[in-house]
Chain A
Amino acid sequence: MYPPAFTYHSPATLDEAIGLLARLGPGAKLLAGGASLIPLMKLRLVEPTDLVDLGRIPDLASIEEVDGHVRIGAMVRQADLLRSPVARSLALLGDACSVIADPSVRNVGTIGGNLSHGDPANDHPAIMLALEARLIARGPAGERTIAAADFNLDLLQVALAPDEVLTGIEVPLPISGQGTAYVKFERQVGDFALAAAAAVVVLDGGLVTEARVAFTNLAPTPVRSPAIEAALIGRAPDRATIAEAAQALVEIDPWADLRATAEVKRAMARAVAERAIRLAVERARRGVQS
């Protein structure tokens, strides 16, 4: 509960922040909302020499539509995202933001921090995978775009260089016939997921033309399931088809932990996927009808 000493920096611009990271070296950590980092520091599981606070840098906390995408600033807090129009047009974002930790954590936690932390128990990584989002990073050499599929490398490891800052996320705007959902099994509010699934489906003429399903907290990184997706494409998504598709899951090899055995988690993953797909299909149908 008593972190070791560190130096606090509060840069006014992104360039200043990147400069600090380059100058201070690997001991420096970015501070976004602090929802994960501060507890880890208090437990001395992370002992940064320097904290570079992104809180005073302007323009990192906006949500805007550009060019067929929604660009969500990395410093957008979960609570603000939950209240934004994008949480309604992409319902899975709203689903997720209402089950991330609890309201007090959502008031400080940011989407950028959630993603950069690389924790497979966090909810946004699987969602970004299912949305095929692109993550925007800036470093000394300028800006680059990283596909969500390439972002999570391993447990707590992401594709950001030590002197790079995740500045925002580009999420494709929903297309006609699209429905999305995120469903999580958690023992209690704020607990890590037993299993959670993000689903994006697109219906055309009553058939599934696109499907993407990704999972939270069942592997060192978020995992997509092409097997489930393939079992949906081209089919009419009735209850039986969805149930059968969810059973097709083969891509995860969950580890046993204090919450459940691997076998139980596999069963939970299939069940939670089934629910997420069903809800996404329901929403897609409602959207088509309206």
Chain B
Amino acid sequence: MGSIGRPMKRVEDRRLVTGRGEYVDDVPAPGALHVAIVRSTYAHARILGIDATAALALPGVVAVVSAADLGAANGPFPHPTWFPPHPPLAKAVDPFTRPERIWLLAAERARFAGEPVAAVVATDRYLAEDAARAVIVDYEPLPVIATAEQALAPDAPLLNPEWGDNIAVHFVIGAGDVDQAFEDADIVVRRTLRHGRAICTPIECRGVVAIPDRRSGDLSVWSSSQQPHWLRDALERTLRMPGDRIRVVAPDVGGGFGLKSMVYPEELLIPRLALHLKRPVKWIETRRENLASATHTRDQVHEIELAVDRDGTIRGLRDRFVIDGGIGSVESIVVPYTTACHLPLAYRIPTMRIECTVAVTNKAPSAAERGAGRPEAAFALESILDEAALALGMDRAAFRLHNALRIDEMPHDHGILYRDGTPLRLDGGDFRGDMSDALARLDYDTWLAEQAAGRTEGRLLGIGLAGYIEGTGVPPFEAANIRLDPSGRVIVSVGPPSQGQGHQTTLAQIASEYLSVPVELIRVIQGDTYAFPSGGGTIASRVIVVVGNAVAAAAIELREKILAAAGDQLEVAPADLEIRDGSVVAKGAPDVSIALTTLAARVTPGIGRMGSAGPGLEARGGFQPPTVTFGTGFHAAIVEVDPDSGLVTILRYVVVHDCGRLINPAIVDGQVIGGLAQGVGNGLFEELIYDEQGQLLTGTFADYLIPRATDLPTPIVIHKETRSERNPLGVKGVGEAGTVPGAALMLGAVRDALGQAGAGLATVPVTPGRIVTAIQAARAAGVPVGHAG
């Protein structure tokens, strides 16, 4: 019985759920100094001066540091997570994108409320916070760009005067003659759809501990990060210190969701302070800091139109969307392009033109967060599909089924390019089958009848339908080391860290599959640049695809080495040997065997003798993904809307999900359900609201609502396994998929519940305030509430 496919319990959970995890705040740092950060109270202001006299006079204060104190070390540096477009994409699409820069502390100007302006270092955090309030910053307020619309107005103030405009990213992609298709089609539907500004909310906020070695001057940094290796590289450049002298560790990380895939100013600042002060320095972010200054996401407005024929056939798609990028799109085109190229989902859309503009404003910077542009794509497309079906007088499910790609149409080329510049070719997945399975499991027809019956008694039931595709497992390639220890244990080392995904279990299951060593004897080491020097981070649903296949390759090579070494010892051809129950055994001759522990001791450097397997039972494997591999799926839900309160109750939620071969179905369940919670959050609750002066009004969890257990349904999750042909394991990523349809699903369901009265609903989150407003407007206009159409 292999290990892959078993829903085994996560080996890391006993430690994590009994409070023995080690998060950044738990890292021992004796004698550490603590940092409180003075953050800009203005959204846009010139910094005329910083007076730290009073702060420095307070007890326990060691230093107050501003940009001027840091000089050239303050930057600006090229932003470590900004990359130019891949050359093939640059050649074909030529997306316009402006390089981003990073300052450790705001220099002449503060560009958003919450931007770090000064750092107060004290002997404890309370004293540091007291002193931070005593730092007097002399601001001269500048005109505030509060919205993307303002940013793009002809006479807008400029965030970066040297740019000449406020556009960070702009591109157009397309396929076929879309304008002709719109002319030829029977019907065109148009909507302006708005996805609210959101933030992922890991339980653990950001945090950094930096400890310089007193003797060598080397530096150790712990950061709550998805990208320890990129942080190491960024520190190498900003500290001007060789990377091998910098150890960066992402220990247990209490959730990331993309928010920790950045390199942040604070992550460069705290190590700089530690080197300067020659003391351990620590900063643990508060929730208020996190909501105001970590990267935000979504905040897209789509002007989308669909051309359809009377029989329900989609002829073309045109979309112009604008993203409020805050002070910058610090991952360049990642989110914008991912939204654009996922827009057709897995529907047959022969022609399209999609134009994207990212505007800069005086808000926190923007970047990818769970779904990374895909939830916005599903939101825009599925919402316009609902409108098209209504306009055609077709059943919404029938309309979708008519246009959904079938498995016999795979691979399907959408005629546009993926972000890596390769043709966007869906590599299998039964999207239409996912949809019909979801409809069947939901009992769609029964609910349609229920809905109609409910409407006669004033009950507002709504059906939400939304599908998704997800390109997963992005390059660059990853590698893994694996070694059989003389104790009989197997140690796997990889670069990317875990933020709770269960890698300690799934990567061990993969190694176990090929080595026939039980999972309990396999240890996975990750997220430490001294344990494994390279890695592209735990982002973009890539670890199981890219790292998983690297572990598989390494395990296969180690197995060959074990069999070769055992062959030497047993004088049997390796091809006639197999690993079983902790021993290498001759096939058909169980008496001829050698225990793995004995074998390892005999060939391990320092205790054994080098044989034909080389210096020890170690192997290294790698996997270069050709491009992404696409997961698919479909969500369907029933909601009930209370017309008086506008409150939405999810009565039923069905997920059909295909991420290829399952390594651990229980972990996939967890990923899908957790993702779904974030999607429902985007759909019903989560919204960062700024006022016209660029002040964040939703700066605590009292105002920024995230879904809780009591807000969520117990979903029905159906797994399908269409194996990927783009990697040896046949896997597809799953980290983000569950989030993708949520916002579309919630808006569609509520809009359906309200019937004609819901026609004005075009924004997520679809809150009680918005719902009751729509109902009031409908009543005032004599439009019935809860009638079809």
Residues of A within 8 A of B (CB): 1-5, 43-44, 185, 187-192, 194-195, 258-261, 263-264, 267-268, 271-272, 274-275
Contacts and interface: CB of A to CB of B under 8 A. Distances in A.
A47 B698 CA distance: 22
7 contacts: A43-B288, A185-B768, A189-B708, A191-B702, A268-B645, A268-B646, A272-B645
Contact of A264 (B286, B287, B698, B773): B773
A264 B702 contact: no
Given A188-B710, A259-B767, 17 more contacts: A1-B288, A2-B129, A44-B129, A185-B644, A187-B685, A187-B705, A188-B685, A189-B708, A190-B708, A194-B769, A258-B697, A260-B768, A260-B772, A264-B769, A268-B645, A271-B644, A271-B645
Contact of A189 (B702, B710, B772): B710
A268 B643 CA distance: 10
A259 B704 CA distance: 11
B125 A267 contact: no
A39 B685 CA distance: 22
Given A43-B700, A268-B645, A2 B125 contact: yes
B392 to A, nearest CB: 33
A264 B776 contact: yes
B773 A185 contact: no
Nearest to B124: A2
A6 to B, nearest CB: 11
Interface in B699-717: 700, 702-703, 705, 707-708, 710-711
B698 A268 contact: no
B286 A1 contact: yes
A264 B772 contact: yes
Given A187-B647, A268-B644, A271-B645, A260 B705 contact: no
Interface string B471-487: 00000000000000000
A249 B199 CA distance: 39
Interface in B252-284: none
B689 A258 contact: yes
Contacts of A267: 644, 772, 776
A81 to B, nearest CB: 21
- 8 closest A-B pairs by beta carbon, nearest first, are A271-B644, A260-B769, A185-B645, A1-B286, A2-B129, A264-B772, A189-B710, A2-B126
B218 interface: no
Nearest to B645: A185
A194 B711 contact: no
B698 A258 contact: yes
B708 A187 contact: no
Interface string B283-304: 0001110000000000000000
Contact of B287 (A1, A5, A195, A268): A1
A264 B769 CA distance: 7
A194 B644 CA distance: 11
Contact of B773 (A4, A190, A261): A261
Contacts of A43: 288, 700
Contacts, number: 81
A275 B689 CA distance: 31
Interface in B762-784: 767-769, 772-773, 776
Nearest to A264: B772
B560 interface: no
Contacts of B773: 260-261, 263-264
A271 B772 CA distance: 11
Interface in B109-146: 125-126, 129-130, 133
B369 to A, nearest CB: 21
Contacts of A268: 644-646, 768, 772
Nearest to B711: A188
Nearest to B285: A1
A271 to B, nearest CB: 3
Contact of B130 (A4, A261, A263, A271): A4
Interface of B: 36, 125-126, 129-130, 133, 286-288, 644-647, 685, 689, 697-698, 700, 702-703, 705, 707-708, 710-711, 767-769, 772-773, 776
A44 B689 CA distance: 22
B776 A263 contact: yes
B710 A259 contact: no
Contacts of A44: 129, 133
Nearest to A184: B645
Contacts of B768: 185, 187, 194, 259-260, 264, 268
B661 to A, nearest CB: 37
A66 B700 CA distance: 43
A264 B775 CA distance: 10
Contacts of A271: 644-645
A9 to B, nearest CB: 19
B287 A272 contact: no
Nearest to A183: B645
A226 to B, nearest CB: 23
A194 B710 contact: no
Contacts of B703: 258
Contacts of B689: 258
A4 B711 CA distance: 35
A190 B711 CA distance: 11
Contacts of B707: 188
Given A2-B126, A185-B647, A264-B776, A192 B288 contact: no
A51 to B, nearest CB: 15
A191 B125 contact: no
Contacts of B125: 2
Contacts of B769: 194, 259-261, 264
A200 to B, nearest CB: 21
A191 B710 CA distance: 12
A165 to B, nearest CB: 27
B678 to A, nearest CB: 15
A198 B393 CA distance: 45
A195 B773 CA distance: 15
Contacts of A260: 767-769, 772-773
A272 B697 contact: no
Given A258-B689, A260-B769, A188 B130 contact: no
Contacts of A275: 644
Contacts of A194: 645-646, 768-769
Nearest to A4: B130
A192 B708 contact: no
Contacts of B705: 187-188, 191
B232 to A, nearest CB: 29
Nearest to A274: B644
B434 to A, nearest CB: 30
A199 to B, nearest CB: 15
Contacts of B711: 188-189
Nearest to A190: B708
A18 B644 CA distance: 46
A5 B772 contact: no
B673 to A, nearest CB: 18
A196 to B, nearest CB: 11
Nearest to B773: A264
Nearest to A121: B702
Contacts of A259: 767-769
Nearest to A2: B129
A3 B126 CA distance: 7
A43 B703 CA distance: 14
Contacts of A2: 36, 125-126, 129, 286
Nearest to A270: B644
Which of A4, A191, A194, A264 has the most B CB atoms < 10 Å from its CB?
A264
A267 B769 CA distance: 11
A106 to B, nearest CB: 14
A8 to B, nearest CB: 14
A3 B129 CA distance: 8
A30 B55 CA distance: 30
Contact of B767 (A187, A195, A272, A274): A187
A260 B697 CA distance: 14
Contacts of B685: 187-188
A271 B689 CA distance: 27
Contacts of B646: 194, 264, 268
